[in-house]
């Protein structure tokens, strides 16, 4: 079975991809990650979702594609040029709010809020301030991270950071998780 034969991307994705190439942004989520995010978003009708690291909106498009009309997404990125691409293509969707800033600061501003799904694609909420992200999850909420399989561009000090993060997730008392050696390497955890 070829997983890629069954991937139907959101209609807006080719336009975002073209602007992403023009911007020379190379850190967007892969289609397989997108399909997973769309499916997980669909599992949370009326849900509150948070994306840490919008980039140019590639993963955002997949998440929105899975959300129902009653769901809401807050998506955050530090880079105004990347965020502008996402806003240009996805900003007319009333279900999404774009926030420009550091993900750690935005998580601080959201303290007391709860989310049903968090996709942590930025370093904040993943490699640092991990507990802030966990604290924002509802019971039954899903936490997703990607980019965990070794890549040629990784600096030599990165593998120990990934190992430490994976250990932290696996041993967290409030999370049930599993690792996937699929796409760029994913972890899915559920708070319980």
How many CB atoms are closer than 10 A to CB 8? 10
Confidence of residue 5 (pLDDT cuts 50, 70, 90): low
* Residues contacting residue 99 through CB under 8 Å, at least 6 positions apart: 74, 75, 76, 77, 106
- Pairing of β 186-191 and β 137-145: antiparallel
The partner residues of 179 in beta bridges, in order of sequence, read: 187
* 20-191 fold: Rossmann fold (3.40.50)
List the domain boundaries for the chain.
Answer: 20-191
pLDDT per residue as tens digits for the range 118-174: 999 999 999 999 999 999 999 999 999 999 999 887 788 888 999 999 999 999 999
* pLDDT for position 128: 93
Q: What is the pTM of this model?
A: 0.95
Tell me the C-alpha distance between 79 and 101, whole Å.
8
């Amino acid at each position: 079975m070829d997983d890629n034969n069954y991937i139907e991307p959101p209609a807006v994705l080719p336009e975002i991809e073209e602007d992403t190439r023009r911007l020379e942004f190379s850190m967007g989520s892969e289609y397989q990650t997108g399909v997973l995010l769309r499916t997980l978003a669909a599992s949370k009708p009326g849900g509150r979702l948070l994306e840490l690291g919008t980039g140019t909106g590639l993963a955002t498009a997949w998440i929105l594609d899975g959300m129902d009309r009653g769901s809401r997404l807050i998506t955050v990125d530090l880079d105004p040029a990347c965020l502008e691409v996402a806003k240009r293509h996805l900003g007319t969707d009333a279900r999404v709010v774009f926030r420009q800033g550091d993900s750690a600061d935005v998580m601080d501003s959201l303290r007391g809020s709860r989310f049903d799904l968090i996709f942590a694609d930025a370093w904040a909420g993943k490699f640092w301030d991990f507990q802030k992200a966990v604290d924002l999850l509802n019971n039954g909420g899903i936490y997703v991270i990607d980019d965990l399989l070794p890549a040629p561009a990784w600096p030599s000090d990165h593998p120990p950071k990934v190992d430490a993060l994976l250990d932290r997730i696996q041993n967290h008392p409030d999370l049930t998780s599993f690792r996937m050696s699929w796409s760029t390497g994913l972890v899915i955890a559920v708070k319980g």
